[in-house]
């Protein structure tokens, strides 16, 4: 009953001065809405980046070999075959390297980005889709026999031939002043059609892939390798497989302890990106949170004004038997309710604002239960902290002096 009466008196006091109460809450509203909007949009951006990394390959390992002795091959095709045969968890493994060149037919000529590797490159290339729409990917036979075959994307087929079904057609590739006459065996889905509109179609390079052995035969400087991409079945296999790969290669090349081989994965990169983003988001949210301190000072200021205005009321209540504790709780509750109402309005506005901003950025805002709980707790804390001094001042007024106050 005591709490209920104080709650009702607090609401009556707040709604008796609506405009003043709203202006008092404005700092809290701005601070809370800013923090909620920043956290929601920031968390949405983190999820979007996480999803993008997952699409790139959360189960992918990047193997590199760093050897200063140029006469020594630290990573060979035989190494890749051994790794795939020895480690059951490895699903695909291939060099995943790129070189630029010029692709030409009798109809057109365009700049091209050429990926080269083993047949597993179909599922490891970040530049090209793995989904075929015509023909096939180059095979192990093509790789072993150095066949002059190439796989292109549908955008490239359209640009060079004016159609996508170009299986069996020939094109000329010029790479590092060497010419390759290649036969098209497959066409994959285009991955960069959405870039058109931002660039002229002629400015967008074509994308194609071919066996490393074929490129190495015609352009020997590209026969060697210093890196490879590995894909495993499950993210839980990444660390053990990475360790096994490095250990096997060190034993095979008698390089134990020389730190020649490194196996890194996208999860490590993702953790680094998330850490940087989280630090940045929290910093911006903290800056926005300064408005909460300003709002808290506003609450304390208006409560001091309220105590001054209601001095005679406090004296009357004390004369009628109200204790110091009763007066303290009355004004403290008013401060807390004022802050909570501001927090709820700020939360609502923050959610609306985050949806508007996230919609413009084409991401999904994420408002977590933790954020909502933080808002409510922080609003209550502001009410308690900045309302305590005015409440104590009211509670310790001398009833005789209060009744004489004009």
The pair phi, psi for residue 128, each rounded to 5°, is -130, 150
CB atoms within 10 A of CB 14: 19
Residue 197: the pLDDT is 45
Return the higher-pLDDT residue of 63 and 396. 63
Give me the DSSP letters along 124-176: T-SSS-S-EEEE----HHHHHTT--EEEEEHHHHHHHHSSS--TT-EEEEEET
Distance CA 166, CA 206 (A): 15
Residue 94: the pLDDT is 92
Percentage of the chain exceeding pLDDT 70: 81
Residue 186: the pLDDT is 95
Least confident of 265-269, 341-345, 400-404: 400-404
Return the higher-pLDDT residue of 70 and 252. 252
- 192 pLDDT higher than 50: yes
SS3 label, residue 86: helix
Q: How far is CA 285 from CA 167, 290, 291, in A?
A: 55, 9, 10
SS3 label, residue 57: helix
Distance CA 326, CA 315 (A): 13
* Mean pLDDT for the chain overall: 80
Return the higher-pLDDT residue of 303 and 192. 303
Distance CA 286, CA 296 (A): 15
Percentage of the chain exceeding pLDDT 90: 21
* pLDDT bucket at 247, cuts 50 / 70 / 90: very high
SS3 content of the chain, % helix, strand, coil (to 5): 60, 20, 25
* pLDDT bucket at 264, cuts 50 / 70 / 90: confident
Distance CA 24, CA 81 (A): 71
Distance CA 164, CA 187 (A): 7
* pLDDT bucket at 320, cuts 50 / 70 / 90: confident
Most confident of 17-31, 52-66, 253-267: 253-267
Distance CA 136, CA 59 (A): 25
Beta strand 149-153 pairing with 178-188: parallel
Average pLDDT on 233-254 reads: 88
Distance CA 147, CA 138 (A): 9
* pLDDT bucket at 193, cuts 50 / 70 / 90: low
- 259 pLDDT higher than 80: yes
Return the higher-pLDDT residue of 210 and 37. 210
- 202 pLDDT higher than 80: no
Is the whole model's pTM more than 0.95, yes or no?
no
Distance CA 46, CA 153 (A): 31
Residue 19: the pLDDT is 80
Residue 397: the pLDDT is 65
* Model confidence pLDDT, tens digit, residues 19-35: 877 877 787 788 788 88
Q: What residues does 111 pair with on adjacent strands?
A: 102
């Amino acid at each position: 009953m005591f709490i209920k009466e104080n709650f009702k008196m607090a609401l009556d006091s707040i709604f008796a001065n609506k405009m003043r109460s709203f202006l008092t809450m404005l700092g809290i509203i701005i601070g809370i809405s800013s923090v909620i909007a920043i956290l929601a949009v920031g968390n949405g951006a983190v999820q979007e980046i996480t999803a993008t990394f997952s699409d790139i390959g959360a189960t992918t390992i990047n193997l590199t070999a760093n050897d200063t002795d140029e006469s020594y091959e630290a990573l060979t095709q035989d190494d890749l075959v051994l790794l795939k045969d020895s480690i059951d968890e490895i699903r695909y493994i291939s060099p995943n390297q790129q070189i630029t060149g010029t692709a030409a037919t009798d109809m057109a000529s365009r700049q091209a980005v050429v990926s080269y590797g083993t047949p597993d490159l179909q599922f490891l290339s970040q530049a090209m889709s793995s989904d075929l729409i015509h023909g096939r990917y180059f095979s192990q036979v093509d790789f072993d026999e150095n066949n002059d075959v190439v796989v292109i994307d549908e955008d490239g087929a359209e640009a060079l031939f004016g159609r996508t079904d170009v299986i069996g057609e020939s094109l000329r590739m010029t790479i590092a002043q060497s010419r390759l006459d290649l036969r098209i065996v497959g066409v994959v889905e285009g991955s960069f059609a959405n870039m058109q509109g931002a660039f002229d179609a002629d400015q967008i390079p074509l994308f194609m892939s071919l066996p490393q052995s074929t490129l190495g035969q015609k352009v020997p400087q590209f026969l060697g390798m210093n890196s490879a991409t590995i894909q495993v079945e499950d993210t839980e296999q990444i660390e053990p497989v990475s360790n096994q790969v490095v250990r096997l290669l060190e034993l095979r090349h008698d390089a134990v302890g020389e730190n020649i081989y490194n196996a890194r994965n996208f999860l490590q990169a993702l953790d680094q990106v998330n850490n940087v983003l989280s630090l940045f988001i929290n910093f911006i949210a903290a800056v926005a949170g300064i408005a909460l301190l300003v709002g808290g000072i506003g609450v304390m200021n208006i409560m001091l004004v309220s105590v001054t205005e209601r001095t005679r009321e406090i004296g009357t209540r004390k004369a009628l038997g109200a204790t110091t504790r009763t007066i303290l709780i009355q004004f403290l509750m008013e401060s807390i309710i004022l802050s909570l109402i501001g927090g709820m309005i700020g939360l609502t506005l923050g959610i609306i604002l985050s949806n508007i901003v996230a919609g413009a950025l084409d991401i999904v805002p994420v408002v977590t239960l933790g954020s909502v709980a933080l808002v409510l707790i922080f609003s209550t804390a502001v009410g308690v902290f900045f309302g305590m001094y005015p409440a104590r001042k009211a509670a310790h007024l001398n009833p005789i002096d209060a009744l004489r106050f004009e």
